[in-house]
Structure 1
Amino acid sequence: MKSQEKKDALGKIRELVDRFKQNIDQYKKSTYDEANTRVDFIDPFFESLGWDVANRNGYAEQYREVVREDKIVIVGKQKAPDYSFRIGGIRKFFVEAKKPSIDIKRAMSPAYQLRRYAYTAKLPLSILTDFEEFSVYDTRIKPHPNDNPSVARIFYCKYTDYAKKFDFIYDTFSKDAILKGSFDRYVESKKNKKGTSEVDKEFLKLIDKWREKLARNIALRNSNLSLYELNYAVQKIIDRIIFLRIAEDRQIEDYGKLQVLQNGTNVYGRLMEIFRHADERYDSGLFNFESDNITPEITVDDNIIKEIIKSVYYPESPYEFSVLDVEILGNIYEQFLGKTIRLTAHHRVKIDDKPEVKKAGGVYYTPKYIVDYIVKNTVGEAIKGKTPKQIEKIKILDPACGSGSFLLGAYQYLLNYHLYWYSKQENLEKSLQRGKIIQTSSGSYQITVAEKQRILINNIFGVDIDS
């Protein structure tokens, strides 16, 4: 027997279906845009499934159930998924919305766009819909730009079939189903489906390939380099490219800054200029050329850099760096840093596990839930009841930080605590006046960039043999 909530949800969706059917000719016109589709149909559709789409409960930004992104198109490229559905701040699935005049069953671009976002975010399922049509994709399957829109699509129906297919929709994507584990059980039942792959493993393969090609080319063109200098140069080039590419997708850097290097010659020289500008802007160790006298002096062939750059841009790249979690990136880097370049007697490049990794039997990355538990019971206890002024005296150090999973967890805990403290009614006015937090258009509060930077520099410290 259906629960009353489920019956009510079906009734609301039937009302939406009737309204759409009555005015379908108007809704199918190209002038009826995506924004109206979202407000008129997609928002209420998911509200009927129990989601607080408009954040009427007034949850803090990091805990709101549905994050709705305003579309920003840069160089023809959308910068964020339309909806991110979350439980306790943890993403469960994305929804990509289109207007009804788009044929989402046959159009290649919308499906590829959604799959790139969700695959990079390591989400198992996500939805593409214009309300008239509803598609569910298994987003563990690595997307390719020439994929037919049917690739990885595991469910499809039209609005006229919503009532008939309602059990699947509600039992998989309603908030109640997520909380009761139905979503996770469904995902688990499809776990070993052919073609599924994890983004961290695939991205690791990609940067491993970069390392080998860069190492071979740099060793060939710069025979005077020591083994240490070769490892250093390769690592720095890869780190800097990844940093800047992520910064582009997160709108910190202009999109396409690296992409232009695919045209013309002297590619590495031009890349170094971009790195030098980054040094001026970020003033960080990653781009510090006072201590780096190696990478500015080496020669790298144009085709090597061009190939790397091409592999991280749409449409060649299946990765959308704006949604790549730091935990996923950390896992990738733990594995990546576990290997080293060596040269044979004939000056040929070999990639091997580091001795300490061989001895330990591999590289191990601490899962997020363990990090969160430890941070809560250490940092959480240390700052409990304290003011931001008192917390300034607390220093958090990880002397063997690796890719920084514990430091990232500690930093996020500090940010959440500070936001909670600043947005309390008795502290709110002063916090706003002093630029500690800002109010967003949705009415919630966020810590300012300057305050985030202050907390990071003042409280978080780490060192590692590979840093």
Structure 2
Amino acid sequence: MKEQAKQKVKELVGRFRYNLDVYKKSAYNETQVRREFIDPFFEALGWDVSNKQGHAEQYKDVVHEDAIKVGRSTRAPDYSFRIGGQRKFFVEAKKPAVNIKEDVAPSYQLRRYAWSAKLPLSIVTDFEELSVYDCRIKPGPKDKASVGRIGYYTFEEYLDKFDEIYDVFSKDAILKGSFDRYAQSAKGKKGTAEVDSEFLKEIESWREMLAKNIALRNPDVSIYELNYAVQKIIDRIIFLRICEDRGIEPDGQLQSTAESTGVYPDLLNRFRLAESKYNSGIFDFEADAVTSRLKIDDKVLKAI
């Protein structure tokens, strides 16, 4: 199986090399390189990229344009590779005119997707180049393309380093646990941080911003009331955000509230609507005599 896969990749490499000048032109687009090279490359690694086996949606090997939440928006990585319906890694495709090794945008885009989906490793490729990223490192828009990159190959190296690629990213390797072992071995490098720990840090920054603004705009509030209000408001926002993620609430409601003028009164209305819908003490305004009388500046809530 492995030798057959290598032979298929050899054919792709030869064809790409022969017409390289054509493929490097900007007119040769992402859709073309996906169909002619990237799809067959991963098919050679054992993946049913086009669902030839006719599996139901939840059991497909590969989902194209798999919708995920990135911040407040919904985004769609080009490929989501899965085992038993569970995502294992993303692949983001670019046209060969893009400089995968140096351009910041492709790596940042991929890392944001995988970071949000809590995937340890993912790939960005235009077939001419292929970069593997450790996506447990929180992405920043000013990061160089090298940040988090733990593997880089040009198409001329695919055959010499075929074992490295196949033994991690082939379907067979993932089923045998090689992918997970590789991901674990790559973990713990300087600068890595898990999503959950970063989220906790973010909540702490929200808490600090809210506390300062509430104290400034509401000088009559006691320390106890201040702490109570900060925790209550954050808990409510997170609850509603989770409801949006799970499709219980319409997507984008909180975002539209944040974009309004007079954010906090609008937010209170959202909270009161939630009180009538959910049997949750989080929204119990009979027991909460504090939060409804507060003044909070728009810019603070927009930041959250």
TM-score (norm 1): 0.56
Q: CA deviation at 1:225?
A: 4.5
Q: For the structure 1 residues 275 and 175, does the alpha-carbon distance in structure 2 shift closer, same or farther, using more than 3 Å as the test?
A: farther
Matched position secondary structure for 2:51: coil
Q: CA deviation at 1:276?
A: 3.3
User: For 2:265 and 2:118, how far apart are their aligned partners in 1?
Assistant: 32
Residue number among 116, 129, 137 corresponding to 1:120 in the alignment? 116
2:20 is the counterpart of 1:20: no
| 1:44-443 equivalent positions in 2, closer than 5 A | 44-69=40-65, 79-225=75-221, 230-231=226-227, 233-242=229-238, 247=244, 252-253=251-252, 257=256, 260=259, 269-273=262-266, 276=269, 284-285=277-278, 294-306=290-302, 308-309=303-304
User: For 1:56 and 1:184, how far apart are their aligned partners in 2?
Assistant: 26
Q: For the structure 1 residues 105 and 282, does the alpha-carbon distance in structure 2 shift closer, same or farther, using more than 3 Å as the test?
A: farther
Q: CA deviation at 1:281?
A: 9.8
User: For 1:70 and 1:142, how far apart are their aligned partners in 2?
Assistant: 21
Cα deviation, 1:55-91, whole Å, max 9, x if unaligned, reads 222333222221111799xxxx881111111112222
Q: For the structure 1 residues 230 and 57, does the alpha-carbon distance in structure 2 shift closer, same or farther, using more than 3 Å as the test?
A: farther
Matching residue of 1:444? none
Matching residue of 2:3? 7
Contact 2:264 2:296 in 1 (8 A): no
Residue number among 36, 39, 44 corresponding to 1:40 in the alignment? 36
Q: CA deviation at 1:194?
A: 1.1
Q: CA deviation at 1:223?
A: 4.5
Identical amino acids, percent of aligned pairs: 58
User: For 1:201 and 1:288, how far apart are their aligned partners in 2?
Assistant: 26
Q: CA deviation at 1:134?
A: 0.2
Q: For the structure 1 residues 52 and 255, does the alpha-carbon distance in structure 2 shift closer, same or farther, using more than 3 Å as the test?
A: farther
Q: CA deviation at 1:218?
A: 1.9
Matched position secondary structure for 2:89: strand
Contact 2:274 2:283 in 1 (8 A): no
Paired residue type of 1:82: D
Matched position secondary structure for 1:134: strand
- How many residues get paired? 295
User: For 2:154 and 2:275, how far apart are their aligned partners in 1?
Assistant: 49
Q: CA deviation at 1:136?
A: 0.4
Q: CA deviation at 1:201?
A: 0.4
Matched position secondary structure for 2:124: strand
User: For 2:119 and 2:24, how far apart are their aligned partners in 1?
Assistant: 31
Matched position secondary structure for 1:163: coil
Matched position secondary structure for 1:126: strand
Cα deviation, 1:297-335, whole Å, max 9, x if unaligned, reads 2112344334x24xxxxxxxxxxxxxxxxxxxxxxxxxx
User: For 1:86 and 1:29, how far apart are their aligned partners in 2?
Assistant: 32
Contact 1:47 1:53 in 2 (8 A): yes
Paired residue type of 1:301: D
Q: For the structure 1 residues 280 and 137, does the alpha-carbon distance in structure 2 shift closer, same or farther, using more than 3 Å as the test?
A: same
Paired residue type of 2:269: R
User: For 1:255 and 1:9, how far apart are their aligned partners in 2?
Assistant: 48
Q: For the structure 1 residues 43 and 259, does the alpha-carbon distance in structure 2 shift closer, same or farther, using more than 3 Å as the test?
A: farther
User: For 1:14 and 1:191, how far apart are their aligned partners in 2?
Assistant: 31
User: For 1:255 and 1:39, how far apart are their aligned partners in 2?
Assistant: 38
Paired residue type of 1:164: D
Paired residue type of 2:9: I
Q: CA deviation at 1:18?
A: 1.8
Q: For the structure 1 residues 30 and 239, does the alpha-carbon distance in structure 2 shift closer, same or farther, using more than 3 Å as the test?
A: farther
Contact 2:9 2:41 in 1 (8 A): yes
Q: CA deviation at 1:111?
A: 0.5
User: For 1:37 and 1:252, how far apart are their aligned partners in 2?
Assistant: 33
User: For 2:32 and 2:245, how far apart are their aligned partners in 1?
Assistant: 29
RMSD: 3.3
Cα deviation, 1:159-191, whole Å, max 9, x if unaligned, reads 121111111100010011111111112122222
Paired residue type of 1:38: R
Contact 2:66 2:79 in 1 (8 A): no
TM-score (norm 2): 0.83
Q: CA deviation at 1:39?
A: 1.6
> Which deviates further from its counterpart, 228-237 or 38-47?
228-237
Structure 2: 5+ residue stretches without partners: none
User: For 1:298 and 1:171, how far apart are their aligned partners in 2?
Assistant: 58
User: For 2:91 and 2:207, how far apart are their aligned partners in 1?
Assistant: 35
